[in-house]
Amino acid sequence: MTQDELIDSYKPMVDFIADIYGKNCEVILHDLRNLESSIVAIRNNHITGRNISDTVTDFALEIVYNKDKYKDKKFITNYTGRTKDNSRILRASTYFIRDKKNDLIGMLCVNVDITALHDARSFIDELLMENLEQNIINNEKEKDEKDKKENFGLSIDELVNSIINDVLSNNPIEPSRMLIEEKKEIVNRLNKKGVFLLKGSINQVASKLEVSEQTIYRYLKELE
């Protein structure tokens, strides 16, 4: 079976899963051989607003770059995702599609909209107010969930900018005041998130760090 045939063989699963779980379940098939337009099949796209030929997510990029970390995993289930405008909370799961060489070439993703359930739980918790300690525990668990979120519905430029801004937010120093080593570390962290797998990312990172594209290429070469 060729790689194209393997990817195509999962397309019926998109409809199958969507028909089982209904309109609150978005199902997407990604072809990771083309990250900039990876979506080849989708159902219930009203949830994230994505379409055929849209790009991968930040989480998918990280998996592709750190593929050795996931080489023994067949799937990841029940992590948290959020839509572009933060209006929806999703319970996300991803199945890894590998070819006969065990190379990761695709992903089958199932994103269940649990926004209404989340709001209902918050309302009930507020009414019950069993004890302060339990509320603190719940808030911490919710914070942990948000920290592990996947962002859906971003364009390529928005995706790259989102990852760059996220990395820069953890550094209190403005790019204009950063030392060379600090900028190299920013590039290293962005690299680990798979940013440079996307076309045009070099230019965006260079602009944010206030250096030339050649400088970014040099930093990446030094990280090899």
* Confidence at residue 136, expressed as pLDDT on a 0 to 100 scale: 52
Q: For residue 186, what pLDDT band results from cuts at 50, 70 and 90? A: very high
pLDDT tens track for 120-142: 888 887 777 655 455 555 555 55
Q: Where are the domains of the chain?
A: 3-116+146-150, 156-223
Least confident of 37-41, 134-138, 175-179: 134-138
Distance of CA 103 to the CA centre of its chain: 20
Neighbours of 61 (CB within 10 A): 24
The pTM assigned to this predicted structure is 0.77
Provide long-range contacts, Cβ within 8 A and 24+ apart, for 85-91.
Answer: 87/115, 88/47, 88/48, 88/113, 88/115, 89/113, 89/114, 89/115, 89/118, 90/26, 90/47, 90/48, 90/114, 90/150, 90/152
**What is the pLDDT averaged over residues 6-21?**
98
- Maximum C-alpha span of the chain: 59
CATH topology classification for 3-116+146-150: Beta-Lactamase (3.30.450)
* Confidence at residue 177, expressed as pLDDT on a 0 to 100 scale: 92
